[in-house]
Amino acid sequence: MPHATRLTPVAAPITDLHERILTRLASWRPARVMVIGDYMLDQHVYGAAERLSPDAPVPVLMAGDPRDIKETPGGASNVASCLRALEAEVCCFGVLGGDPEGESLRRHLSSMGCAVDGMIVDPSRPTTVKRSLIGLAQHRHPQKMFRLDFESREPLGRAVSERLLGSVLAAMSQVDVICIEDYNKGVCSPTLCHAVIEGARALGIPVLVDPAAIEDYSRYRGANAITPNRSEAELATGMAMPLDATVEHNARLAARLLGDVQLEAVVLTLDRHGSLLLERNGHPLHVPTVARKVYDVTGAGDMILAALAAARANGFAWDESVAFANAAAGLEVEVFGAQPIPLSSVRRSILALAGHATGKTRSLADLMVELAVHREAGNRIVLTNGCFDVIHAGHVAYLREARQQGDVLVVGVNSDEEVRRQKGEGRPIFSERDRLEILAELHCVDYLIIFREPTAHELLKAVRPHVYVKGGDYRPEEVNEHALVRELGLEMRLLAHRPGLGSSSIVERIRKLDAARTTTGT
């Protein structure tokens, strides 16, 4: 295997890797992605599971209305959903049954903003449906009890297959990257895969494959990359897993696949151990993931494929793409069921992994990433600003009340230069670094940011909070930012001023006391 001269994996330089990803994310654009594969509808029936059946040692699910079934996209549909969450433009190509479930899945894809012209109806087969029974033990966390599958694994008929392939080839030139999501349900036949890969290669479009659990990967030959897990790779290579799988064993799996399937790269997913990346003419690279509390692994593989595709379409190197995908999949396993992870959440995770999200002080760019996550969660963002030089009880009461106006409090703090300009020589008493350190200890403060402009206009334009809070004996029209607040359509609230607790008056009192002591010699 000349492309893999060393089979001992090296560890990726993680801090440098995440810094490079943050740089890439700054110029992120919506990728145009084609998703081909086995589209499924996931159905969830919820109920209480608090007793065993009297006639068999099995739990009883006390469901509600049998018509009250939660439906979500699954299989290739979930890849499309994950890509939409990563801000990609998605066109879907697959097969649906001529049944209500097929219509429901089409509606779900359309409502997500996916193009569905490539979804072919085949009345001779059912739409693939995975119906899960979800029990809530003592009304706590949901747990999957049982699953019913409705599907056909028969190959597509010739006419349907040719129609699907024709629509794929006709639309191929309009996309940046192609994803093949194969669950071995009859759609991703060798004929279709070969034709898609050959057509994409002629156009210079990369093809990424999440392979089925099958023994023969020849149908994927010539793709740019595949993303099997370790057990799938062992099945496809016939290389038995040792009792204690070593990194060298994983590297040999990747090397075998790279050569046999004639790939550009193999991304071997290793659950909690992250991924192993092997590029042609390169050395195996172990890209670890952060240790997380795993709640449900459903959808993690779909998230990996989607994140890799979006990253590669944005010019990420392979190691950057894998680390980005690891971060996205790590967030996926922390939630129940297949839930798409928004780009803002992945960005926030990368920030934390790069060490940018420690403490409460943020740069403006990092703050924007974290606030996007709060907006998606429906949290109300509150912004206030000030010098906060010589912090006192009035400041504490004011900030506590400001925090009560919403869910997240951002405090803009004037720079030392601006405090000096506003307050005169001898101010600030405490440097901006000291003021930030003191404010960070207040539980009511969520984020801190230094701003260097005379007013908060630019900060307001960037943050665009739900509520802008000011303190003191002002009328709204006397606030410098009043016109901008109205222009942006924001809410402004003025909080009561506590007399006698202004920083300037406190500083003046201290100076007078100090002068008196100096005069009397005490």
pLDDT greater at residue 140 or residue 37: 37
Closest to 236 (Cα-Cα) out of 218, 248, 250, 251: 218
Marked catalytic residue, from 176, 302, 319, 389 = 302
Residues 178 and 86 in one domain: yes
Per mean pLDDT, which range of 3-12, 74-83, 162-171, 243-252 is the poorest? 3-12
Contact 302, 310 (CB under 8 A): no
Q: Which residue has tokens 């065993």?
A: 52
Contact 43, 14 (CB under 8 A): no
Q: How far apart are CA 449 and CA 178, in angstroms?
A: 41
Element (H, E) at 522: none
308 pLDDT exceeds 90? yes
Residues 101 and 228 in one domain: yes
Residues 340 and 372 in one domain: no
Position 5 confidence tier, pLDDT thresholds 50, 70, 90: very low
Contact 119, 92 (CB under 8 A): yes
Q: How far apart are CA 101 and CA 152, in angstroms?
A: 14
pLDDT greater at residue 333 or residue 393: 393
Query: Is 65 a domain residue?
Result: no
Please give the mean pLDDT across all residues of the chain: 87
pLDDT tens for each residue of 187-230: 999 999 999 999 999 999 999 999 999 999 999 999 999 999 99
Query: Is 53 a domain residue?
Result: no
Query: Is 295 a domain residue?
Result: yes
18 pLDDT exceeds 50? yes
Position 1 confidence tier, pLDDT thresholds 50, 70, 90: very low
Give residue 2's pLDDT.
42
Closest to 10 (Cα-Cα) out of 368, 347, 277: 277
Known catalytic membership, residue 302? yes
61 pLDDT exceeds 70? yes
Q: How far apart are CA 254 and CA 251, in angstroms?
A: 5
Eight-state DSSP code of residue 361: B
- Using alpha carbons, list the distances in angstroms from residue 20 to 14, 87, 320, 323: 10, 20, 7, 10
260 pLDDT exceeds 90? yes
Q: Count of CB atoms within 10 A of residue 335's CB?
A: 14
Taking CA 257 as the corner, what is the angle to CA 224 and CA 263, rounded to the nearest 5 degrees? 20
Give residue 294's pLDDT.
42
- What average pLDDT does the segment 321-350 reach? 81
Given 332, 353, 374, the domain boundary residue is 353
Quickly list DSSP for 177-234.
Answer: EEEEE--SSSSS-HHHHHHHHHHHHHHT--EEEE--S-S--GGGTT-SEE--BHHHHH
In the sheet with 10-11, reading across from the earlier edge strand, the strands are 10-11, 285-287, 275-279, 265-269, 225-226, 207-210, 177-181, 32-37, 89-97, 115-122
Give residue 139's pLDDT.
57
The end-to-end CA distance of the chain, in Å, is 87
Query: Is 134 a domain residue?
Result: no
Given 327, 353, 379, the domain boundary residue is 353
Contact 220, 241 (CB under 8 A): no
Residues 349 and 368 in one domain: no
- Using alpha carbons, list the distances in angstroms from residue 146 to 65, 168, 332: 18, 36, 21
pLDDT greater at residue 52 or residue 484: 484
- Tabulate helix, strand, coil % of the chain (nearest 5): 40, 25, 35
Counting residues of the chain whose pLDDT is more than 70, the rounded percentage is 86
Q: How far apart are CA 60 and CA 248, in angstroms?
A: 46
119 pLDDT exceeds 80? yes
Print the domain residue range for 259: 10-40+73-125+151-353
Query: Is 467 a domain residue?
Result: yes
Residues 342 and 428 in one domain: no
- Please give the distance of CA 351 from its chain centroid, rounded to a whole number: 12
Give residue 404's pLDDT.
94
345 pLDDT exceeds 80? yes
Q: How far apart are CA 208 and CA 426, in angstroms?
A: 62
Contact 221, 262 (CB under 8 A): yes
Residues 305 and 390 in one domain: no
Contact 324, 316 (CB under 8 A): yes
User: For residue 86, what are its two tokens?
Assistant: 């990563």
Q: How far apart are CA 367 and CA 411, in angstroms?
A: 11
- What average pLDDT does the segment 488-512 reach? 70
Residues 377 and 345 in one domain: no
Quickly list DSSP for 389-418.
Answer: -S--HHHHHHHHHHHTTSSEEEEEEE-HHH
Residues 311 and 212 in one domain: yes
CATH of the domain at 382: 3.40.50.620
Specify the number of domains making up the chain.
2
Give residue 376's pLDDT.
77
pLDDT tens for each residue of 265-301: 999 998 777 899 999 988 999 887 765 454 445 658 8
CATH of the domain at 30: 3.40.1190.20
11 pLDDT exceeds 80? no
Query: Is 135 a domain residue?
Result: no
3 pLDDT exceeds 50? no
- What average pLDDT does the segment 331-345 reach? 73
Residues 338 and 379 in one domain: no
Phi then psi for 342, rounded to 5 degrees? -65, 150
User: For residue 384, what are its two tokens?
Assistant: 């206030």
pLDDT tens for each residue of 351-381: 888 877 778 998 898 888 888 878 877 889 9
Query: Is 199 a domain residue?
Result: yes
Q: Which residue has tokens 């156009």?
A: 203
Query: Is 167 a domain residue?
Result: yes
The DSSP bridge pattern shows strands 225-226 and 265-269 to be: parallel
Long-range contacts of 239-246 (CB under 8 A, 24+ apart): none
Q: Which residue has tokens 């010098």?
A: 387
Residues 14 and 95 in one domain: yes
Taking CA 460 as the corner, what is the angle to CA 408 and CA 462, rounded to the nearest 5 degrees? 85
